[in-house]
């Protein structure tokens, strides 16, 4: 058997690597979490990993939208809500665009959408579930 093995697992790996190598535009890392459970009052992070964005950050933006009220929370590293519990986190040369929520409440539970401003826009949905009791 040649080095690297053979069979279904290596074929799947090779197929995924080939797909990623041939993409010309940005895409979401499929391994990014789609469900996040947060403890009431404990800071939580919703992550969105955008691959192949490269130097397109001058023309393409990554944003977070809360579905409950269709509220634009962040664009890039800038926060567009008066609710200071929300903050955008992104480090240069990183594929991660993170929404930080301080002191999450039950009302924060729901769907959050990470969008890339392609035409048409691309999106990755994250479901947040805040658990715990008030004392």
- Band (pLDDT 50/70/90 cuts) for residue 14 is very low
Q: Which domain holds residue 83?
A: 28-131
Q: How many domains does the chain have?
A: 1
Q: Which of 92, 70, 96 minimizes the C-alpha distance to 81?
A: 70
**Alpha-carbon radius of gyration of the chain:** 18
Can you give the pTM of this predicted structure?
0.79
Tell me if 19 is assigned to some domain: no
Domain contains 109? yes
DSSP labels, 94-134? -SEEEEEESS--GGG-EEEEEEE--SSPEEEEEEEEEE---
**CATH number of the domain residue 81 falls in:** 2.60.40.10
Q: Using one digit for the tens of pLDDT, what is the confidence trace for 55-82?
A: 766 678 999 999 999 999 999 999 999 9
Whether residue 50 has pLDDT greater than 50: yes
């Amino acid at each position: 058997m040649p080095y690297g093995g053979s069979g279904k697992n290596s074929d799947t790996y090779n197929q995924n690597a080939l797909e990623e190598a041939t993409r010309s535009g940005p895409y979401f890392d499929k391994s990014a979490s789609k469900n996040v459970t947060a403890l009431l009052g404990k800071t939580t992070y919703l992550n969105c990993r955008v691959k192949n964005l490269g130097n397109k950050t001058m023309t393409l933006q990554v944003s977070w939208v809360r579905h409950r009220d269709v509220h634009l929370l962040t664009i890039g590293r800038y926060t567009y809500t008066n609710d200071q519990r929300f903050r955008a986190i992104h480090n240069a040369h990183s594929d991660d665009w993170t929404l930080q929520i301080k002191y999450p409440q039950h009302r924060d539970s729901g769907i959050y959408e990470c969008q890339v401003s392609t035409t048409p826009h691309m999106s990755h949905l994250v479901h947040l579930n805040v658990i715990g009791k008030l004392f």
